[in-house]
Chains A and B, each alone.
Chain A
Amino acid sequence: DADVTQTPRNRITKTGKRIMLECSQTKGHDRMYWYRQDPGLGLRLIYYSFDVKDINKGEISDGYSVSRQAQAKFSLSLESAIPNQTALYFCATSPPGSPYGYTFGSGTRLTVV
């Protein structure tokens, strides 16, 4: 099994619909992140969580919300999807402290029509 699992892998949804992207990890790490990737823009941080009770906004949190259901689970919701939220979404996890890289999931490709 993958260290970080994202579901679904692909999703097409209509404008205005609520959608949830799920992420679970088996690394046992406290920190989890949600990024979105757009062509030419790299990865931008949406939300991050340092533990179950600590959730923080990233640089582009508007239009998104998150839930940290357990140490291993971190979900991203789009309350009312809009076309410019069409992107590739990545979940990641890391140990606490600075000098560590992240382990990424395989991504969820979301299309809002």
Chain B
Amino acid sequence: AQSVTQLDSQVPVFEEAPVELRCNYSSSVSVYLFWYVQYPNQGLQLLLKYLSGSTLVKGINGFEAEFNKSQTSFHLRKPSVHISDTAEYFCAVNYGGSQGNLIFGKGTKLSVKP
């Protein structure tokens, strides 16, 4: 079955520290990969996406993600986090085909502490 796994439900870090939020997906011939961010009491906002080409994708707010086909991963990274990055982050995968619905992971809550 097609699935998306976010390995950490919560990630606490100190301000200015680097962070990596992990995402793995079930293997498929072709996938489109997304990271969304949800700030408290808000909807989901697209952070970045991988469709094809370079495996390193840069998004908004200094985040980047690397597509690794052999490890079926799409981990999200930021070299130095801010208090304002505190939010829940969702990895999502579109396995393609005629329907092409997004399948979401369960989310990772990033808590940035001063």
- Residues of A near any B CB (own CB < 8 A): 4, 33, 35, 40-45, 48, 56, 58, 90, 92, 97-107
Contact = CB atoms under 8 A, between A and B. Distances in A.
Nearest to B47: A101
Interface string B25-62: 00000001010100000111110010100000000000
Contact of A99 (B32, B36, B43): B32
B9 A99 contact: no
A40 B43 contact: no
A106 B94 contact: no
Interface residues of B, number: 25
B83 interface: no
Nearest to B4: A42
B43 A42 contact: no
Give the interface centre of A56, A104, A106 by most chain B CB atoms within 10 Å.
A104
Contacts of A41: 106
Given A33-B101, A99-B94, A104-B36, 9 more contacts: A4-B43, A42-B90, A42-B107, A43-B44, A99-B51, A99-B96, A101-B49, A102-B102, A106-B42
Nearest to B42: A106
A101 B43 contact: no
25 contacts: A33-B101, A35-B104, A40-B9, A40-B106, A41-B106, A42-B104, A42-B105, A58-B101, A98-B97, A98-B100, A99-B51, A99-B94, A101-B36, A101-B46, A101-B49, A101-B92, A102-B46, A102-B102, A103-B46, A104-B36, A104-B43, A105-B43, A106-B42, A106-B43, A107-B43
A58 B103 CA distance: 11
Given A48-B101, A107-B43, A42 B96 contact: no
A44 B104 CA distance: 8
A31 B19 CA distance: 34
Contacts of A43: 44, 90, 104
A33 B92 CA distance: 15
Contacts of B42: 106-107
A25 B84 CA distance: 28
Contacts of A98: 32, 94, 96-97, 100
